[in-house]
């Protein structure tokens, strides 16, 4: 294992990491994924409700981590439920991370292929991208935190800017009626909305690098609240511009929305390149995060240094991410990952309960 | 195929589209000229605001009928005239509205447009030309049992551009009110004739009454939208048009004493 350096992450850095970990591939397809389930324009409400749900779950994970300062879930899992069950949980988490990592990488390649580099083979984009990821992961959590700190403000500013530029397409009538079919469609939308909050499980590992106090919990909540606001904003603006049915027929409604307007006399006329740029930055941060927590897990289980795993895992990711044949299979994979993710949230909830009972004894 | 930009402007050519792309105006690229003309149509109620590919896709996805501006050649110039009616369910062009019909319909949906109304004073049959500065519109659907009706409330604010009434009496409030009534009646007449053509001849809702229904009666709309075309052509409309003249230029006049 790499020695965990003494200077720990500041609360701001924790918030930045959590936020970057959450903002990812979901942003582009979110309006469709939610609306095709909801069927009314109220999808943004589902996203908001899901956001509060996950702030609560994030708080639980932070609390769980707070019981074991300096330890990740791979280590304190064993302490709570015993060696074998703990190992099982660790393996479960590692498999999940591996699948998630390969999925996110494939998403990135898929978008790059469709919108940016049409004639470049997938394999090339994939390989080059993985090399950069490895470069940053080898450095450890601190360089990662600093890099994310540079990317995040750029992302937020650009995203809000290009969303607001598209307001001329916005028609409030597309969002009306508010809850016309009652609350049931909104509840139906909560499950598909959960996928954009995928990433909060990272808290279980980051907690090892912080002083577990109130500031940590606050940082976690802030790290979830910020993406939540951005998601709700994306939902409202994209839905108000493309209508319920229009959103449901597009694979990536957010990109299509940005591609639906041109602004004359503002240096650029077209803005989807900006969106794709920040989106690639964000998916990069996601992949780096997942890669890092995955490798940490492997190192913990086998009690070895991380470096061997960082390089060893590369071909596995490469092969895994090239398995799906088309976009539909990739989407299906995303659904699986989402179910894994929800199970993981359930597990951490149970772990906290057990820990509380243990504490009382 | 995948990467067509959805911000393209869609126009429908009457006749051969290729002829329109071959126009020569001041050495300009024909498409740029078309876009320039399209951008300058916002004063005229007889033309439509631009429909982009994205809007078309969304209309088709929601099965809403809509209008697209049509273009034709007039000698060597392009002319923006008429509008194509696109049926959202069949996804086909089902006919063209002429400029008069389009102008009448525009009062139902084109909010941001200016435009002028030529009306005649009912007493003296003299002409009053009114220009629109601001338009407030509200469409309120009503369902009583199975009967559907719409209350269309229109508040038009503007000024008199041309006043051929003589003797001039614009310093009197009554004279202005009379002009307001004349203009309101004219607008109502235009709306009614165009709507009845739309309801009887084309039986398609291109003026977003369906949207108003969807918002007001979301539950009933689920069943209604299947046969909306029929329901729409049966629907009755109540008009409430208020014209507000804010300005009439610099020439007025009082009533002569002998008149009263």
Q: Minimal CA–CA distance to A294: which of A113, A72, A40? A: A72
Are A330 and A111 a contacting pair, CB within 8 Å? no
Report CB contact under 8 Å: B2, A114: yes
A308 touches chain B (CB under 8 A): no
Tell me if B260 is assigned to some domain.
no
Q: Which of B70, B97, B124 is the last residue of a domain?
A: B97
Closest Cβ–Cβ partner in A181, A245, A259 for B62: A245
Q: Which of B42, B72, B97 is the last residue of a domain?
A: B97
Tell me if A357 is assigned to some domain.
no
Distance CA A42, CA A60 (A): 28
Are B119 and B163 a contacting pair, CB within 8 Å? no
Are A23 and A230 a contacting pair, CB within 8 Å? yes
Count: domains in chain B: 2
**B85 backbone dihedrals φ, ψ, rounded to 5°:** -95, 125
**What CATH number is given to the structural domain containing A44?**
1.20.1740.10
Contacts of B3 in chain A (CB under 8 A): 114-115, 118
State the pLDDT at residue A4.
Answer: 53
Residues B40 and B139 in one domain: no
Q: Which residue of A has its CA nearest to B57?
A: A246
Task: State pTM to two decimals.
Answer: 0.85
Q: What is the ipTM of this complex?
A: 0.76
Query: Could you give the C-alpha distances from A274 to A117, A227, A251, in angstroms and in order?
Result: 15, 18, 19
Residues B72 and B149 in one domain: no
Tell me if B106 is assigned to some domain.
yes
State the pLDDT at residue B260.
Answer: 45
Least confident interval from A159-168, B6-15, B34-43: B34-43
Distance CA A120, CA A131 (A): 17
Within 13 A of B247's CA, how many CA atoms are on the CB side? 10
Distance CA A8, CA A219 (A): 14
Q: What is the mean pLDDT of chain B?
A: 83
The 3-state secondary structure of chain B, one letter per residue: CCCCCCCCEECEECCCHHHHCCCCCCCCCHHHHHHHHHHCCCCCCCCCCCEEHHHHHHHHHCCCCEEEEEEEEECCEEEEEEEEEEECCCCEEEEEECHHHHHHHHHHHCCCCCCEEEEECCCCCCEEEEEEEEEEEEEEEEEECCEEEEEEEEEEEEEEEEECCCCCCCCCHHHHHHHHHHHHHHHHHHHHHHHHHHHHHHCCCCCCHHHHHHHHCHHHHHHHHHHHHHHHHHCEEEEEEEEEEEECCCCCCCCCHHHC
Please return the burial class of B85, using the count of CB atoms within 10 Å of its CB with bins 0-12, 13-18 and 19+.
buried
Residue A194 has pLDDT above 80, yes or no: yes
pLDDT band per the 50, 70, 90 thresholds, residue A286 = very high
Distance from A280 to chain B by nearest Cα, in Å?
19
Are B238 and B152 a contacting pair, CB within 8 Å? yes
Return the higher-pLDDT residue of A148 and A3: A148
Contacts of B58 in chain A (CB under 8 A): 242-243, 245-246
Relative to beta strand B116-120, strand B9-10 is unpaired
Give the residue-averaged pLDDT of B20-26: 82
Give the residue-averaged pLDDT of A299-323: 88
A218 touches chain B (CB under 8 A): no
Q: Running DSSP on this structure, what letter comes out for residue A212?
A: -
Q: What is the mean pLDDT of chain A?
A: 87
Residues of B within an 8 Å Cβ radius of A: 2-3, 5-7, 52, 54, 57-58, 61-63, 211, 214-216, 218-219
State the pLDDT at residue A300.
Answer: 85
Interface test with A, best of B4, B6, B50, B91 (most A CBs within 10 A): B6
Report CB contact under 8 Å: B218, A242: no
Question: Around Cβ B164, how many Cβ atoms within 10 Å?
Answer: 12
pLDDT band per the 50, 70, 90 thresholds, residue A212 = low
Q: Which of B47, B65, B97 is the last residue of a domain?
A: B97
State the pLDDT at residue A158.
Answer: 92
State the pLDDT at residue B2.
Answer: 55
Give the residue-averaged pLDDT of B150-170: 83
pLDDT digits (tens, 9 = 90+) for B62-97: 888 888 988 888 887 888 888 899 988 888 998 898
pLDDT digits (tens, 9 = 90+) for B180-222: 888 888 889 888 998 988 888 888 888 888 888 888 888 888 8
Q: Running DSSP on this structure, what letter comes out for residue A118?
A: T
Report CB contact under 8 Å: B219, A181: yes
Tell me if B78 is assigned to some domain.
yes
Residue A354 has pLDDT above 80, yes or no: yes
Residues 223-262, chain A: which have Cβ within 8 Å of B? 242-246, 248-249, 256, 259-262
Residue B29 has pLDDT above 50, yes or no: yes
Report CB contact under 8 Å: A169, B57: no
Report CB contact under 8 Å: B61, A246: yes
Tell me if A303 is assigned to some domain.
yes
Residues B137 and B151 in one domain: yes
Which of A107-111, A173-177, B252-256 is modeled with the greatest confidence? A107-111
**B81 backbone dihedrals φ, ψ, rounded to 5°:** -140, 150
Report CB contact under 8 Å: B52, A244: no
pLDDT digits (tens, 9 = 90+) for A4-61: 555 688 888 899 999 999 988 788 889 998 998 888 888 899 999 999 999 999 998 8
State the pLDDT at residue B42.
Answer: 66
Residues B141 and B226 in one domain: yes
pLDDT band per the 50, 70, 90 thresholds, residue A2 = very low
Compute the C-alpha angle A250/A255/A258, nearest 5°: 120
pLDDT digits (tens, 9 = 90+) for A226-242: 999 999 999 999 999 98
Count: domains in chain A: 1
Question: Is the CA virtual torsion B94, B98, B103, B104 positive or negative?
Answer: negative
Tell me if B217 is assigned to some domain.
yes
The arrangement of strands across the sheet holding B147-163 comes to B116-120, B127-144, B147-163, B236-247
- Residue numbers of the domain that contains B248: 99-255
Contacts of B5 in chain A (CB under 8 A): 259, 270
Report CB contact under 8 Å: B215, A245: no
Residues B7 and B43 in one domain: yes
Distance CA A142, CA A7 (A): 9
Per cent of chain A over pLDDT 70 is 98
A36 touches chain B (CB under 8 A): no
């Amino acid at each position: 294992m790499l020695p965990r350096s003494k200077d720990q992450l500041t609360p701001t850095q924790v918030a930045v990491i959590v936020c970057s970990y959450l903002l990812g591939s979901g942003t582009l397809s979110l309006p469709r994924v939610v609306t095709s389930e909801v069927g009314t324009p109220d999808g943004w409400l589902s996203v908001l409700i899901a956001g509060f749900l996950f702030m609560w779950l994030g708080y639980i994970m932070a609390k769980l981590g707070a019981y074991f300062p300096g330890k990740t879930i791979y280590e304190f899992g064993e302490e709570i439920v015993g060696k074998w069950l703990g190992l099982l949980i660790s393996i479960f988490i590692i498999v999940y991370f591996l699948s998630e990592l390969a999925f996110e990488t494939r998403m990135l390649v898929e978008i790059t292929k469709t919108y940016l580099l049409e004639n470049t083979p997938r394999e090339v984009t994939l390989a080059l991208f993985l090399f950069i990821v490895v470069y940053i992961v080898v450095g450890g959590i601190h360089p990662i935190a600093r890099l994310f700190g540079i990317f995040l403000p750029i992302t937020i500013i650009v995203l809000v800017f290009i969303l607001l530029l598209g307001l001329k397409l916005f028609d409030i009538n597309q969002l009306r009626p508010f809850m016309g079919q009652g609350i049931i469609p909104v509840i139906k939308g909560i499950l598909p909305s959960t996928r954009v909050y995928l990433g909060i499980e990272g808290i279980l590992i980051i907690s090892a690098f912080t002083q577990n106090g109130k500031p940590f919990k606050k940082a976690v909540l802030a790290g979830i609240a910020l993406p939540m606001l951005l998601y709700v904003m994306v939902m409202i603006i994209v839905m108000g511009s493309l209508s319920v049915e229009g959103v449901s027929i597009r694979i990536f409604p957010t990109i299509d929305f940005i591609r639906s307007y041109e602004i004359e006399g503002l240096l650029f006329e077209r803005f989807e390149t900006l969106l794709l740029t920040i989106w690639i930055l964000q998916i990069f941060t996601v992949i780096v995060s997942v890669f890092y927590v995955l490798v940490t897990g492997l190192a913990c289980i086998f009690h070895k240094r991380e470096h061997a795993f960082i390089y060893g895992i590369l071909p596995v990711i490469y092969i895994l991410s090239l398995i799906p044949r088309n976009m539909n299979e990739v989407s299906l994979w995303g659904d699986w990952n989402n179910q894994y993710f929800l199970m993981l949230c359930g597990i951490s909830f149970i772990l906290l309960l057990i820990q509380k009972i243990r504490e009382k004894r | 195929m995948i990467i067509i930009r959805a911000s393209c402007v869609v126009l429908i050519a009457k006749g051969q589209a290729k002829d329109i792309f071959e126009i020569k105006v001041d050495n300009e690229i024909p498409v740029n000229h078309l876009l320039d003309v399209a951008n300058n149509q916002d004063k005229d109620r007889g033309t439509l605001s631009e429909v982009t590919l994205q809007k078309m896709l969304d209309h088709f996805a929601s099965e809403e009928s809509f209008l697209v501006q049509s273009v034709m050649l007039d000698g060597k110039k392009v002319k923006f005239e008429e509008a194509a009616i696109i049926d959202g369910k069949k996804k086909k062009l089902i006919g063209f509205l002429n400029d008069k019909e389009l102008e009448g319909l525009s009062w139902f949906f084109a909010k941001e447009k200016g435009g002028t109304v030529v009306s005649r004073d009912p007493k003296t049959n003299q002409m009053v030309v009114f220009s629109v500065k601001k338009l407030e519109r509200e469409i309120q659907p009503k369902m009583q049992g199975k009967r559907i009706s719409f209350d269309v409330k229109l508040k038009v604010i503007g000024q008199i551009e041309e006043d051929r009434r003589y003797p001039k009496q614009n310093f009197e409030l009554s004279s202005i009110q009379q002009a307001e009534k004349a203009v309101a009646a004219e607008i109502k007449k235009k709306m009614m004739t165009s709507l009845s053509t739309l309801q009887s001849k084309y039986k398609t809702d291109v003026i977003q009454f369906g949207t108003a229904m969807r918002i007001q009666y979301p539950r009933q709309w689920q069943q209604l939208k299947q046969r909306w075309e029929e329901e729409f052509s049966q629907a009755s409309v109540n008009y409430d048009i208020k014209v507000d003249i804010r300005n009439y230029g610099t020439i007025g006049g009082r009533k002569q004493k002998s008149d009263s």
